[in-house]
Amino acid sequence: MPYKSFEEYNIQVTDDVKDRYKNIIEDLGEDTQRDGLLKTPERAAKAMQFLTQGYNQDPVEVLKSAMFKESYNEMVIVKDIELYSLCEHHILPFFGKAHIAYIPNGQIVGLSKLPRIVDIFARRLQVQERLTEQVLDCINDTLKPQGVAVVIEASHMCMMMRGVQKQNSITTTSGFRGQFEKIETRNEFLKLIGK
């Protein structure tokens, strides 16, 4: 059987948010009974639940589910992790990529868990600065490595579609703990991710 995607939504939340979207669309001057908009309030309600599903997920449990004892103690990097989030100021998307590195201290984590952590925190109303810090602190506090580094580069639709309307601007945030606070380790990481 081919892969089948399955999404589950809280019916009560969907109905409540759907009614609110219908009112918003009507307040903006649209006819919610016209053909193209008949199902838009429900689709928007489901989309918002999907885009904010990180509130219902525990990033610490995700990391703990795939931690393994290992003697490897050199830098581990997962780079170019795509991310999609919603700016909490305008509820408009921001998107880009995250680069994560850590130096194990007796334990490693399954590589797929690092992008999952990014997704969990990104699927909340966010600011890029907090997102960077949450990913960094979650890995540092849970895995307890010798060091961890996170760099996020993103484009923000609130700056591109409205406001200053700068289509080519990229925001970069970074955070470093432990061994990455040393300039030589930090520089090695930045060189390996092409920065």
Catalytic residues: 87-90, 128, 156, 158
Q: CA 113 → CA 64, 100, 159, 165, distances in Å? A: 9, 11, 31, 35
Q: In the numeric block, which tokens belong to residue 93?
A: 């998307």
User: Residue 138 annotated as binding?
Assistant: no
Q: CB–CB of 104/63 below 8 Å? A: no
156: buried, middle or exposed (CB in 10 Å: 19+, 13-18, 0-12)?
A: buried
Structure tokens at 125: 């109303």
Within 92-156, residue ranges assigned H as helices are 113-122, 128-143
Annotated binding-site residue? 158? yes
Annotated binding site for Zn(2+): 87, 90, 158
Output the known binding site: 87, 90, 158
